[in-house]
Structure 1
Amino acid sequence: MSIKSTQTAVVNEQAIVLFELKNNTGTTVCITNIGSTITSIQTPDKNGKIEEITLGFNKPLEYLNEAYLNNCPYLGATAGRFANRIAKGKFSLEGQSHQLPINNDANHLHGGPDGFHQQIWKGQIEGESLVMTLVSPDGHMGYPGKVTARVKYTLTDEHELVMDYLAESEQACPVNLTNHAYFNLRGKKASILDQEVMIMADHYTPAIDAIPTGEIAPVKDTAFDFSSLRTIGEKIDASPIKTYDHNFVLNHPEGQLERAALALDKESGRVLEVFTTLPGMQFYAGKFLDGSYARGDWQFDSHEGFCFETQYFPDSPNHPNFPDCIARPGKPFEHTTVFKFSVQA
């Protein structure tokens, strides 16, 4: 495995760097220190042809483009401090009320408009891993406490991209980090609706206007039953919002690294498996991609990429029955997620 870095620009006296991780068996992953963002993943198909399977930009500075940030799909970004939504941007913790900025209808999304996705992280090569570090000051985006976040990326010769997350907070604070990569296993412009998905979850969290009701409901006999492989499009119109953008309650115990999901594209033979220690995963079918962004001549339109966002449940600070998302001194956010790539003949 090799890692190389290229400085592409300087912004506010900070170097913008693109890192390339390459294994010995045909997989390449590119990551920029803008937002600790996965800009590219290239893997072989069943015939050995190596192609791009994520949505993103070739030039890192595009992730700081004002138009992109004002209409942000978080392509490949590390989302934080709190990935996903907090209702009305409000939560109470240890007797104090907190108000976060509103940036998604009436809610707070992915850490707010100045969240981790647009910060310039410090990138460092440590042995065969890339380590990204960010210090978020007390009060940033309304969150209490100084948080030091770290993501270690390791690419193995078994085509596994291992992401080890660590976020230490000096005060009690909700913390929820995820990677927001959009995948299209076809390796070219195509709908993802005929790609197949299985999710290891017997329950999900129903939501109204994207905010969980607090119920943990069974997926059986619903549009959310991915207990066996089926196409994304098969039951999508039976979803209340005619797409998927929902949190699944994973079957494994929190803290145990287990498979959470599998995706298959029969045409290319590519397979993606997701493993995580986190208790939930947002499955997003990319409906709200609107053609605003592109890589070369591949314009990213609706339902052309899907996301497997491992996470604590959305709006967790406001639901005591959800898994505890509060990081504290001596109790950091410490989780692992793995994207594993393979082929099926």
Structure 2
Amino acid sequence: MEIKEFGKTTFGIDAKLYTIENDYIKLATTDYGATLVSLIVKKYNIDVVQGFTNVKGYETEVKYMGQTIGRVCNRIGKGTFELNGKTYHVPVNNNGNSLHGGVNGFDTKMWEATMNENCISFTYTSADNEEGYPGNVKVEVTYELLDDCVNYIVNAESDADTLLNITNHSFFNLDGPKSETVLDHQVKINALNFACVDANGCTHEEILAVKDTPFDFTEFKSIGKDINVEHQQLKNGSGYDHHFLVDNEGFREFARCKGSEIEMIVSSDLPGCHVYSSNFLEGNYSFTKENGKFPYRSSICFETQYYPNAIQTCNQIKPILKKGELWHHKTQFKFI
């Protein structure tokens, strides 16, 4: 176990870096945004997540990278929703919609950290009306290291009915920080259907079968094989930026992703997974690992979550956390 300085935030708060390891994996996180900073697969000495060497990179260079996203990840159409007969307005920060919790979501907060040999836990209390959401919500995020896998576990409770849809937003490149593309990674997703997005990237009710589309990952194929195919949904998402409705229920395998040496298995008990092919990375940033770059489409995200914008749909489970109930979900990243 190790704790060390990770730089000062723009508000002058000292961020810390928390590191644990076992025989297979070395894991580092920071209390700014309950963020996954580094995940080294020791057998290959490869850090499989993109990230920064200073907290300022997460504040000012690439938002959401490796961070805990909430209260509600993904988009809420036009930043408006109804709950228990009342209309709520949350900040609009992305093409007319509310994205990833608003202007100051969970990714911007300083969390309280505790750690032991195989766990790093972060806690944060989101006050009533923070970013326009009702209820005081107590959240605990735990990164648990178990042999060849990392569990991302979230527990939360609220003193009033509210919305909650939390995810981890790590950007994976299984070939490490010196790799400049993820398009050669092979991916398999256990989903027969995906959700459509509009021209502003917002998900609505329309669902399509993946069969005979560029979104068919029911067998392994490279991310780049169909990403430039002429298809309206690829245009709307600027590539893959879509929710896959993972088959079956309960804790199950969602997806597999293969680099040149490492294979990652993503499992979760959530309803689905938003897959994002880092379509808006721009290349050169400060504070990157090993003086690396984050070029366009150099990583892929598997954001396990409830259906995006479900509060505005009539055909999906709505991410409503009832007063006094426990929100408990687990996502696992396993490396072979």
Q: Deviations over 1:105-142 (max 9, x none)?
A: 11100001100001000000156311110100000001
The answer to whether 1:4 aligns with 2:2 is: yes
Amino acid at match of 1:324: K
Amino acid at match of 1:262: R
CA shift for structure 1 position 213? 2.8
Amino acid at match of 2:48: I
CA shift for structure 1 position 10? 5.8
The answer to whether 1:49 aligns with 2:47 is: no
Q: What SS does the corresponding residue of 2:206 show, helix, strand or coil?
A: coil
The corresponding residue for 2:240 is: 244
Residue from 205, 210, 218 that aligns with 1:219: 210
Q: Deviations over 1:73-109 (max 9, x none)?
A: 3110001000100011110111110111111111100
The corresponding residue for 2:38 is: 40
Matches within 5 A, 1:41-190: 41-44=39-42, 48-65=43-60, 68=61, 72-126=62-116, 128-157=118-147, 159-187=148-176, 188-190=178-180
Q: Percent identity?
A: 32
Between Structure 1 and Structure 2, how many residues are aligned? 326
Residue from 285, 296, 299 that aligns with 2:277: 285
CA separation of 1:10 and 1:191: change in aligned 2, threshold 3 A: closer
Matches within 5 A, 1:177-326: 177-187=166-176, 188-209=178-199, 210-238=201-229, 239-240=231-232, 241=235, 242-253=238-249, 256-265=250-259, 267=260, 269-293=261-285, 294-326=288-320
Out of 214-223 and 225-234, give the one that drifted further: 214-223
Partner Cα distance (1:96, 1:141) in 2: 16
Is the contact between residue 160 and residue 324 of structure 2 (CA under 8 Å) also seen in structure 1? no
Is the contact between residue 154 and residue 329 of structure 2 (CA under 8 Å) also seen in structure 1? yes
Task: Provide TM-score, normalisation by structure 1.
Answer: 0.90
Is the contact between residue 73 and residue 289 of structure 1 (CA under 8 Å) also seen in structure 2? no
Partner Cα distance (2:116, 2:14) in 1: 18
Partner Cα distance (2:133, 2:44) in 1: 45
Task: Provide TM-score, normalisation by structure 2.
Answer: 0.93
Unaligned ranges ≥5, structure 1: none
CA shift for structure 1 position 330? 3.1
